[in-house]
């Protein structure tokens, strides 16, 4: 059932359809795999990108070895890696539909895992976008640092240009109680899954009951909504970026390694850009 926030948000829209675009986010699970398996999984992820053809792609756990393969296989995209460390995020922009304006990287100085906030300013479907991607601190024991990182992101969202819609997301490793500990969603920031009516088949991006990509030394059955997308409108732009469809991808088992492309399901979200009255 959709939240009250999503209903009030939808009721506030009085506008005219202008254009459309789509965005994918996916933790690529680029760590701790045999080279042949890693190559098969990375190529399978590329095929998903080609099939859905999103205008913007957020990737997490990209490694130096997968970065080159992603770049050479997805030549229709401009690939912007956050760094060249052991693993990192990357934002991909489709050459034919997205104009890259600028970008920045902010390191979370309290992170013990080298986590960062990657920001790219771009223009797509006539809308100015501030695209923010991150892989927040992992594991339950890092909840305190993860909440601090989320608060920092909310501050950066608030600082973004009022002419630009902000879309923040990635593998955020979040539990709902941690969003509450961060003070809840700031005014004007919306959970895109909720805006799309909270589709139950697109809730859990981490589902060890279905995804056996990784083996654990203990039985793990908890399903989690680790991967999320958030939206804040550009209030001065005269445009609204409205999510239309939210779905999970990457659920096809691969023929050689006999597992899935990643231990996370990916997310694809379709948006329409509307003129506000």
Contacts with 216 (C-beta within 8 Å, 6 or more apart), sequence order: 208
Return the pLDDT at 15: 46
Q: Using CA atoms, how far apart are residues 161 and 276, in angstroms rounded to an integer?
A: 18
Burial class (CB in 10 A: 0-12, 13-18, 19+), 225: middle
Q: Establish if 14 belongs to a structural domain.
A: no
Tokens of 186: 């700031």
Q: Establish if 86 belongs to a structural domain.
A: yes
Q: Establish if 41 belongs to a structural domain.
A: yes
Q: Establish if 11 belongs to a structural domain.
A: no
Return the pLDDT at 34: 86
Q: Establish if 1 belongs to a structural domain.
A: no
**CB 39, CB 30: distance < 8 Å:** no
**CB 41, CB 254: distance < 8 Å:** yes
Q: Using CA atoms, how far apart are residues 173 and 238, in angstroms rounded to an integer?
A: 33
Return the pLDDT at 10: 41
Q: For the chain, 277 residues long, give each residue's pLDDT as a single digit of tens.
A: 444 444 343 444 444 545 999 999 999 999 877 899 999 999 999 999 999 999 999 999 999 999 999 999 999 999 999 987 789 999 999 999 999 999 999 999 999 999 999 999 999 999 999 999 999 999 999 999 999 999 999 999 999 999 999 999 999 999 999 999 999 999 999 999 999 999 999 999 999 999 988 765 445 668 999 999 999 999 999 999 999 999 999 999 999 989 999 999 999 999 999 998 7
Q: Quote the domain boundaries for residue 171.
A: 19-276
CATH number of the domain that residue 46 is part of? 3.60.10.10
Return the pLDDT at 29: 94
Return the pLDDT at 260: 96
Q: How many residues does the chain have?
A: 277
Q: Establish if 10 belongs to a structural domain.
A: no
Q: 171 an active-site residue?
A: yes
- Residue of 55, 171, 207, 263 marked active site: 171
**CB 272, CB 19: distance < 8 Å:** yes
Q: Give the predicted TM-score (pTM) of the model.
A: 0.92
How many separate domains does the chain show?
A: 1
Q: Establish if 7 belongs to a structural domain.
A: no
Q: Establish if 3 belongs to a structural domain.
A: no
């Amino acid at each position: 059932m959709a939240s009250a926030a999503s209903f009030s948000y939808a009721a506030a829209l009085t506008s005219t359809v202008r254009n459309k675009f789509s965005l994918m986010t996916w933790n690529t699970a680029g760590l701790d795999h045999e080279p042949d398996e890693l190559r098969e999984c990375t190529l399978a992820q590329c095929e998903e990108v080609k099939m859905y053809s999103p205008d913007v792609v957020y990737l997490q756990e990209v490694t130096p070895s997968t970065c080159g393969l992603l770049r050479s296989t997805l030549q229709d995209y401009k690939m912007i890696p956050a760094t060249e460390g052991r693993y990192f995020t990357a934002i991909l922009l489709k050459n034919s539909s997205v104009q890259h304006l600028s970008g920045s990287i902010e390191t979370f100085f309290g992170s013990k895992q080298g986590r960062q906030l990657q920001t790219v300013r771009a223009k797509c479907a006539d809308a100015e976008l501030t695209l923010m991607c991150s892989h927040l601190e992992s594991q339950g024991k890092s909840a305190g640092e993860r909440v601090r990182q989320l608060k920092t992101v909310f501050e950066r969202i608030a600082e973004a240009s009022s002419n630009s819609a902000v879309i923040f997301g990635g593998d955020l490793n979040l539990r709902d109680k941690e969003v509450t500990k961060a003070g809840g969603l700031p005014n004007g920031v919306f959970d895109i899954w909720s805006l799309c009516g909270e589709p139950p088949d697109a809730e859990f991006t981490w589902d060890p009951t279905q995804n056996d990509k990784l083996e654990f030394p203990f039985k793990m059955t908890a399903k989690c909504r680790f991967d999320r997308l958030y939206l804040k409108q550009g209030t001065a732009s005269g445009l609204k970026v409205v999510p239309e469809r939210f779905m999970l991808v990457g659920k096809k088992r691969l023929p050689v390694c006999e597992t899935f492309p990643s231990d996370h399901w990916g997310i694809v979200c379709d948006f329409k850009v509307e003129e506000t009255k």
